[in-house]
Structures are given as C-alpha cells and as structure tokens.
Amino acid sequence: MNMNEILTIAFMMLFVPVLGLFFMGLERKITARIHNRIGPPVYQQFVDVMKLFSKRENISHSWVFDIGPIFAVVGVLATMLFIPMGGFPMLSFHGDLIVIMYLMVISGLGMALGAGASGNPNAGIGVMRSLVLMMAYELPFVLTLLSVMLYYNTTSLGEIVAKQGETGWGILALPLSALVADLCLQGQFGEKPFDQPVAPHEVATGPMVEYGGKHLGMLFLWHAIAVVMEGSLFVSLFLGGAIFFDPSTITGMVLNLLLWIVLVFMMFFIAILINGVMLRFRIGQAFAFYWKWPTVLAIIALAYVMVVSAW
C-alpha cells in the first residue's frame, strides 16, 4: 500500500458518513415534498447525530446490547473499504465480490445480536424480518452477480470496474441484470415496499426500538454508510464505477468523484421515489415477490450471458 491509497482510504472513511447523512436528509426532504409537506431542513440528520452523541446518559441492557451498534458500524466500515468508491479502487483488489458479500453481513448480524439482547419482542420480530428479507433478495441478487461475474470472467470488483472502462458500462451490456440488481437494491436500502424490518407503525422501528443516545447515533452512522456503500456497489457493477473522465489528472479525479456522488444519489433517489408512493408488503409477500419475478428475470439474464459468452 502506498501513501496515496492510505490517504484515499482515510478521506473516504471521513467523507462517506457525511455524504450518507446528507443523503438521508435529502431523503426526508424529498419524501416530504412528495407528500406535499415542507419537511425538515437538509442538515437535520447532522443535528440529530450530534444530539444523540451528546446525551449525558445512555440506556444499556447488557454488554451484548452495546456490541450491536459497534459491530454494525465496524462491519459497514470494513465492507466500505473493499468497494470502489468515487473512482478509486480502494482495497477491491484485496478482496473480491464474495469477500464483500460476506463482510456486508457482519453489520446486520451484529445489530441483530444487540437488538435481540434487549429482550423486546418488537426487536426480535424486526430482526426476523430483516433476515428473511435478506434471504429473499439474496437469490435474485446472487443470480445477477453470477451473470456479471461470468460476463467479465472475474469475481474481483476492481477488475469488473476496470473491464467496464475498456468495453463500456455494464448497464448497456447487461440491462436486465441491472434491472434485477436495482430491484434488490430496494430491499437492501430497506425502502418501501421492503421496509418490514423497521416498520415504524407495526413494530416500533424493530431492531432499533430499544436504542437511544449514542447507540442510536451509531446506528444513524451505520445507515448513512450503508446507503452510500450499497449504492456504490451498484455503481461499480453496472455504471463503470463512475469513471468517465481521465482519472490520471486532478480535474478528472474531482469530476469522477462528483459524478460518483451524483450516480450513487441517483440510485438512492429511485429508491426514495418508489418509497414515497408505495405501501408496505407483508414479509411473506416480500419473500414470494423476490423469489418470483426478479428471480425469473435474473435467470433470463443469466441465460443471456451464458449464450453470449459461449459465442
């Protein structure tokens, strides 16, 4: 690792949470506009996080309860560093897509652990729903990933980005896979109709129900990083990692970074728009949905890749 890489990583570790909180603020604003409300200011999330971290007293049930938010942040930070971001490959040549997929789970399992330790039934229901939802979208998502991996004949995300630089963006070559990946992204973001784990009106924000103070502040950060990370995964897979300008010059680097921010937000924006007008599925319906249409589409996409690569 050279100095540049270390600087990039340090920069991204500071920048991504800020960007994510900004996105979350925009989400509240946009949703409010869809609902014909004024909505909170865009910086509301920053105020909230600062308020939560400055609480003088924090409620805790046990040490396992404390581990939850810590692991959520740790897992999502560790995963983030293996995904190409802002036109930089980050550490994506040190761990491929399979490493990323399993690193992504750490934060979820960690939070589930903490939420379960609280002994609140709502938290248990929320955790169950989030695990079931994960199993639901994982099948079409894996089929999609497989089509991308077979098309570019590599499992390394950095390599996939590099190959898109040569042959054009993946969304043009594999439109159907991109569509399925975006459907899965809705579930990964946890936006309606797939917000069953949180479902404020049913299970009182599910896993988060017992958390307050600095614990909740950390969960805010977790969500902020996760939004950017999941968006960036899609951008790396199908939108060429947002590398459009020549990355060897300083202006090109800055322009790429700006383009990346726009593209990641665009992915989030699509999810917000759907979220703004949809109702919530029951968890069983969500499962049946994912294992039906997205899976069929993903299989067609995979068959297409098999035919293309056989030629």
Residues 9-48 that bind other proteins (CB under 8 A): 13
Segment contacting other proteins by CB under 8 A, of 178-186, 214-222, 236-244, 272-280: 214-222
Residue where the block lists tokens 């399979």: 98
Give yes or no for residue 112 binding other proteins (CB under 8 A): yes
Backbone φ/ψ region at 11: left (φ over 0), alpha (ψ -120 to 50), beta: alpha
Segment contacting other proteins by CB under 8 A, of 18-26, 70-78, 165-173, 239-247: 70-78
Give yes or no for residue 281 binding other proteins (CB under 8 A): no
Show contacts with other proteins in window 254-273 (CB under 8 A): none
State the Cα–Cα distance between residues 90 and 1, nearest whole angstrom.
Answer: 10
Nearest distance, CB of residue 18 and other proteins, angstroms: 14
Show contacts with other proteins in window 126-185 (CB under 8 A): 127-129, 131-132, 134-135, 138-139, 142-143, 146, 149-150, 153-156, 159
Show contacts with other proteins in window 182-201 (CB under 8 A): none
State the Cα–Cα distance between residues 241 and 221, nearest whole angstrom.
Answer: 23
Nearest distance, CB of residue 273 and other proteins, angstroms: 27
Contact 148, 275 (CB under 8 A): no
- Closest to 168 measured CA to CA, from 183, 152, 156, 179: 152
CB-wise, 30 or 218, nearer to other proteins?
218
State the Cα–Cα distance between residues 129 and 207, nearest whole angstrom.
Answer: 10
179: amino acid identity, one letter:
L
With CB under 8 A as the contact rule, the residue among 66, 255, 258, 280 that binds other proteins is 66
State the Cα–Cα distance between residues 218 and 115, nearest whole angstrom.
Answer: 13
CB-wise, 36 or 57, nearer to other proteins?
57
With CB under 8 A as the contact rule, the residue among 51, 94, 249, 308 that binds other proteins is 94
Question: What is the distance of C-alpha 64 from the center of its chain?
Answer: 25
Nearest distance, CB of residue 251 and other proteins, angstroms: 29
State the Cα–Cα distance between residues 91 and 84, nearest whole angstrom.
Answer: 8
Give yes or no for residue 283 binding other proteins (CB under 8 A): yes
